[in-house]
């Protein structure tokens, strides 16, 4: 669980990131979840764009995606969501 200070730090770091994935009209599929899981393992902090043709909003999706991949929801703003999970990979620079 992230405290408000950690969440603020992560929001600041995520502001310069480009979206890694897009969630479109098919919504949250197993393939999308697998790719998000792999990206979190490699990067710890990712940004995902929810396209306008998706049936759900970013606020609707962030909780479900975070729960499925074991991540912490950092922010859902506009059509972007930001997720954080500590990587178990060795040799990477940790965000927090």
Say which residue the tokens 């759900």 belong to. 56
In a domain, 92, yes or no: no
Q: Is there a domain that residue 47 lies in?
A: yes
**Cβ distance 21 to 48 under 8 Å?**
yes
The domain total for the chain is 1
Bridge partner list, 47: 82
The CATH code of the domain that includes 51 is 3.30.110.60
What is the domain extent for residue 66?
Answer: 4-84
- Percent of the chain beyond pLDDT 70? 100
User: What distance in Å separates the CA atoms of residue 26 and residue 90, rounded to the nearest whole number?
Assistant: 34
pLDDT (0 to 100) of residue 93:
85
Q: What is the mean pLDDT of residues 58-65?
A: 96
pLDDT, tens digit (0-9, with 9 covering 90-100), for 22-54: 999 999 999 999 999 999 999 999 999 999 999
In a domain, 95, yes or no: no
Q: What pTM value is reported for the model?
A: 0.94
Are the CB atoms for 15 and 61 separated by under 8 Å? no
Residue 89 lies in a domain: no
Cα distances (Å, whole numbers) of residue 12 to 7, 38, 75? 9, 23, 11
């Amino acid at each position: 669980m992230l405290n408000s200070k950690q969440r603020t730090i992560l929001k600041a770091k995520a502001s310069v990131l480009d979206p890694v994935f897009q969630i479109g009209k098919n919504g949250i599929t197993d393939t999308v979840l697998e790719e998000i899981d792999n990206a979190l393992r490699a990067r710890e902090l990712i940004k995902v764009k929810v396209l306008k043709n998706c049936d759900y909003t970013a606020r609707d999706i962030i909780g479900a995606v975070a729960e499925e991949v074991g991540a912490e929801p950092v922010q859902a703003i506009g059509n972007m969501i930001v997720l954080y999970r500590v990587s178990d990979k060795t040799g990477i620079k940790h965000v927090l």
